[in-house]
Amino acid sequence: MGKICAVISGGEYSGLNGIEKADYIIACDKGFEYALENGIKPDIFVGDFDSYKGAVPAGIPVLELPTQKDDTDTLAALRYAVAAGYAEIEIYCALGGRTDHTLANIQAAAFAVKNGAVVRIFGKETRMIVLSGGGITVPPEKNCSLSIFSLTDKCEGVTASGVKYPLENAEINNTFPIGVSNEWKGNAEISVKSGILAVVISKLI
Protein backbone atom coordinates (compact mmCIF):
# COMPACT_ATOMS: atom_id res chain seq x y z
CA MET A 1 0.00 0.00 0.00
CA GLY A 2 1.30 3.44 -0.92
CA LYS A 3 1.05 6.64 1.04
CA ILE A 4 -2.47 7.86 1.77
CA CYS A 5 -3.78 11.40 1.53
CA ALA A 6 -6.96 12.09 3.49
CA VAL A 7 -9.29 14.92 2.54
CA ILE A 8 -11.85 16.16 5.07
CA SER A 9 -14.67 17.66 3.06
CA GLY A 10 -17.27 20.06 4.42
CA GLY A 11 -20.38 17.97 3.83
CA GLU A 12 -22.52 16.12 6.33
CA TYR A 13 -20.39 15.03 9.27
CA SER A 14 -19.85 11.28 9.15
CA GLY A 15 -16.98 10.71 11.55
CA LEU A 16 -13.28 10.45 10.85
CA ASN A 17 -12.69 6.82 11.76
CA GLY A 18 -9.53 5.51 10.14
CA ILE A 19 -8.05 8.88 9.29
CA GLU A 20 -5.16 8.25 11.68
CA LYS A 21 -3.54 5.98 9.08
CA ALA A 22 -3.25 8.83 6.56
CA ASP A 23 0.19 10.21 5.79
CA TYR A 24 -1.13 13.67 4.87
CA ILE A 25 -4.40 15.42 5.76
CA ILE A 26 -6.09 18.19 3.81
CA ALA A 27 -9.00 20.01 5.45
CA CYS A 28 -11.50 21.72 3.15
CA ASP A 29 -13.19 24.76 4.69
CA LYS A 30 -15.78 23.40 7.18
CA GLY A 31 -13.80 20.17 7.16
CA PHE A 32 -11.19 22.11 9.14
CA GLU A 33 -13.78 22.59 11.89
CA TYR A 34 -14.46 18.84 11.88
CA ALA A 35 -10.73 18.20 12.23
CA LEU A 36 -10.35 20.56 15.20
CA GLU A 37 -13.39 19.04 16.93
CA ASN A 38 -11.65 15.65 16.72
CA GLY A 39 -8.26 16.88 17.89
CA ILE A 40 -6.72 16.47 14.43
CA LYS A 41 -4.17 18.92 13.07
CA PRO A 42 -4.40 18.97 9.27
CA ASP A 43 -1.29 19.45 7.17
CA ILE A 44 -2.96 22.15 5.06
CA PHE A 45 -6.19 24.16 4.85
CA VAL A 46 -7.79 24.42 1.40
CA GLY A 47 -10.87 26.57 0.86
CA ASP A 48 -12.49 29.95 0.37
CA PHE A 49 -13.60 30.44 4.02
CA ASP A 50 -17.29 30.47 3.10
CA SER A 51 -18.25 27.79 5.64
CA TYR A 52 -15.38 28.08 8.11
CA LYS A 53 -15.13 31.54 9.65
CA GLY A 54 -12.51 30.94 12.30
CA ALA A 55 -8.77 31.43 12.29
CA VAL A 56 -6.26 28.88 11.07
CA PRO A 57 -3.60 28.30 13.74
CA ALA A 58 -0.06 29.35 13.00
CA GLY A 59 2.01 26.63 11.42
CA ILE A 60 -0.74 25.25 9.20
CA PRO A 61 -0.34 26.32 5.55
CA VAL A 62 -3.38 27.86 3.87
CA LEU A 63 -4.31 27.49 0.21
CA GLU A 64 -6.97 30.19 0.08
CA LEU A 65 -9.29 29.99 -2.90
CA PRO A 66 -11.44 32.75 -4.41
CA THR A 67 -15.14 32.55 -3.60
CA GLN A 68 -16.00 32.71 -7.31
CA LYS A 69 -14.23 29.81 -8.97
CA ASP A 70 -14.79 26.76 -11.15
CA ASP A 71 -13.39 24.19 -8.70
CA THR A 72 -15.16 23.17 -5.53
CA ASP A 73 -12.99 23.17 -2.41
CA THR A 74 -12.91 19.37 -2.51
CA LEU A 75 -11.85 19.27 -6.16
CA ALA A 76 -9.11 21.80 -5.43
CA ALA A 77 -7.91 19.57 -2.58
CA LEU A 78 -7.89 16.53 -4.87
CA ARG A 79 -5.94 18.45 -7.50
CA TYR A 80 -3.41 19.26 -4.78
CA ALA A 81 -3.22 15.62 -3.67
CA VAL A 82 -2.79 14.31 -7.22
CA ALA A 83 -0.11 16.91 -7.99
CA ALA A 84 1.71 15.83 -4.81
CA GLY A 85 1.83 12.27 -6.14
CA TYR A 86 -0.72 10.56 -3.91
CA ALA A 87 -2.25 7.50 -5.59
CA GLU A 88 -4.47 6.57 -2.63
CA ILE A 89 -6.91 9.22 -1.48
CA GLU A 90 -9.63 9.02 1.16
CA ILE A 91 -12.40 11.62 1.36
CA TYR A 92 -14.34 12.03 4.61
CA CYS A 93 -17.66 13.81 5.21
CA ALA A 94 -18.36 13.88 1.48
CA LEU A 95 -21.67 12.01 1.14
CA GLY A 96 -25.13 12.92 2.40
CA GLY A 97 -26.47 16.40 3.02
CA ARG A 98 -26.89 18.47 -0.15
CA THR A 99 -27.32 16.26 -3.20
CA ASP A 100 -25.48 18.68 -5.47
CA HIS A 101 -22.45 18.62 -3.17
CA THR A 102 -22.54 14.83 -3.02
CA LEU A 103 -22.58 14.56 -6.81
CA ALA A 104 -19.81 17.17 -7.06
CA ASN A 105 -17.66 15.15 -4.64
CA ILE A 106 -18.21 11.96 -6.66
CA GLN A 107 -17.23 13.79 -9.85
CA ALA A 108 -14.17 15.17 -8.07
CA ALA A 109 -13.25 11.61 -7.09
CA ALA A 110 -13.59 10.59 -10.75
CA PHE A 111 -11.13 13.36 -11.65
CA ALA A 112 -8.57 11.94 -9.24
CA VAL A 113 -9.09 8.40 -10.54
CA LYS A 114 -8.71 9.61 -14.12
CA ASN A 115 -5.34 10.95 -13.02
CA GLY A 116 -4.13 7.67 -11.55
CA ALA A 117 -5.53 7.50 -8.02
CA VAL A 118 -7.83 5.10 -6.22
CA VAL A 119 -10.33 7.03 -4.13
CA ARG A 120 -12.36 5.93 -1.11
CA ILE A 121 -15.26 8.15 -0.03
CA PHE A 122 -16.84 7.91 3.42
CA GLY A 123 -20.32 9.02 4.42
CA LYS A 124 -22.57 8.29 7.38
CA GLU A 125 -24.48 5.37 5.84
CA THR A 126 -22.49 4.79 2.66
CA ARG A 127 -18.93 4.42 1.48
CA MET A 128 -17.54 4.19 -2.03
CA ILE A 129 -14.41 2.99 -3.74
CA VAL A 130 -13.75 4.61 -7.11
CA LEU A 131 -11.17 2.98 -9.36
CA SER A 132 -10.05 2.31 -12.91
CA GLY A 133 -7.88 -0.37 -14.47
CA GLY A 134 -7.57 -2.55 -11.39
CA GLY A 135 -9.39 -4.57 -8.80
CA ILE A 136 -10.37 -4.67 -5.13
CA THR A 137 -11.56 -7.18 -2.56
CA VAL A 138 -14.63 -6.21 -0.53
CA PRO A 139 -15.31 -8.44 2.50
CA PRO A 140 -18.97 -9.06 3.43
CA GLU A 141 -20.64 -6.42 5.56
CA LYS A 142 -23.71 -7.19 7.63
CA ASN A 143 -26.94 -5.35 6.75
CA CYS A 144 -25.35 -3.70 3.71
CA SER A 145 -25.85 -3.85 -0.03
CA LEU A 146 -23.06 -3.90 -2.60
CA SER A 147 -23.51 -2.03 -5.88
CA ILE A 148 -21.34 -1.03 -8.83
CA PHE A 149 -21.86 1.86 -11.22
CA SER A 150 -20.06 3.25 -14.23
CA LEU A 151 -19.05 6.89 -13.76
CA THR A 152 -17.94 7.12 -17.38
CA ASP A 153 -20.02 6.47 -20.50
CA LYS A 154 -19.07 2.83 -20.11
CA CYS A 155 -16.83 0.51 -18.12
CA GLU A 156 -15.36 -2.46 -19.94
CA GLY A 157 -13.98 -5.71 -18.60
CA VAL A 158 -16.01 -5.56 -15.40
CA THR A 159 -15.79 -8.73 -13.33
CA ALA A 160 -17.58 -9.34 -10.03
CA SER A 161 -17.25 -12.67 -8.22
CA GLY A 162 -18.18 -13.79 -4.73
CA VAL A 163 -21.59 -12.16 -5.19
CA LYS A 164 -25.14 -13.37 -5.83
CA TYR A 165 -25.22 -11.77 -9.29
CA PRO A 166 -21.74 -12.21 -10.80
CA LEU A 167 -20.30 -10.51 -13.86
CA GLU A 168 -17.53 -11.79 -16.09
CA ASN A 169 -15.66 -9.39 -18.38
CA ALA A 170 -18.88 -7.40 -18.77
CA GLU A 171 -19.58 -3.94 -20.14
CA ILE A 172 -21.77 -1.62 -18.07
CA ASN A 173 -22.78 1.95 -18.84
CA ASN A 174 -23.94 5.04 -16.99
CA THR A 175 -27.56 4.92 -18.22
CA PHE A 176 -28.54 1.42 -17.00
CA PRO A 177 -28.07 0.63 -13.29
CA ILE A 178 -27.61 -3.13 -13.71
CA GLY A 179 -25.10 -3.27 -10.85
CA VAL A 180 -27.37 -2.02 -8.08
CA SER A 181 -28.16 -3.98 -4.88
CA ASN A 182 -26.00 -7.07 -5.19
CA GLU A 183 -25.35 -9.44 -2.28
CA TRP A 184 -22.22 -11.09 -0.93
CA LYS A 185 -21.63 -14.84 -1.12
CA GLY A 186 -18.13 -14.48 0.31
CA ASN A 187 -15.37 -11.97 -0.33
CA ALA A 188 -16.41 -9.90 -3.35
CA GLU A 189 -13.69 -9.58 -5.98
CA ILE A 190 -14.41 -6.64 -8.28
CA SER A 191 -12.26 -5.44 -11.16
CA VAL A 192 -12.48 -3.21 -14.21
CA LYS A 193 -10.22 -2.99 -17.26
CA SER A 194 -11.25 0.44 -18.56
CA GLY A 195 -13.56 3.25 -17.51
CA ILE A 196 -14.14 4.62 -14.01
CA LEU A 197 -16.07 2.29 -11.71
CA ALA A 198 -17.75 3.15 -8.42
CA VAL A 199 -18.23 0.37 -5.86
CA VAL A 200 -20.85 1.39 -3.30
CA ILE A 201 -21.45 -0.20 0.11
CA SER A 202 -24.68 1.06 1.65
CA LYS A 203 -26.41 0.25 4.91
CA LEU A 204 -29.83 -1.30 4.37
CA ILE A 205 -32.70 0.73 5.77
What are the backbone angles phi and psi of residue 140, rounded to the nearest 5°? -60, 145
Q: In the predicted model, what is the mean pLDDT of residues 171-200?
A: 96
Q: In what order do the strands lie in the sheet with 88-92?
A: 62-64, 44-47, 24-28, 4-8, 88-92, 118-122, 126-131, 197-203, 144-150
Domains 4-124 and 134-203 share a fold: no
* Cβ within 8 Å of residue 93, ≥6 positions away: 8, 9, 10, 11, 12, 13, 14, 16, 31, 34, 122, 123
CA distance linking residue 190 with residue 42, whole number of Å: 33
CA distance linking residue 81 with residue 5, whole number of Å: 7
Q: Which CATH superfamily is domain 134-203 in?
A: Thiamin pyrophosphokinase, thiamin-binding domain (2.60.120.320)
Q: Enumerate the domain spans of the chain.
A: 4-124, 134-203
State the pLDDT at residue 175: 96
The packing angle between helices 73-83 and 99-114, to 10°, is 20
Is 70 exceeded by the pLDDT of residue 1? no
- 181 residue type, one letter: S
CA angle 10, 42, 86 (to 5 degrees): 90
State the pLDDT at residue 71: 82
The domain at 4-124 falls in which architecture?
3-Layer(aba) Sandwich (3.40)
83 in helix, strand or coil? Answer: helix
CA distance linking residue 199 with residue 204, whole number of Å: 16
Give the residue with greater pLDDT, 82 vs 54: 82
pLDDT classification of 65: cutoffs 50, 70, 90: confident
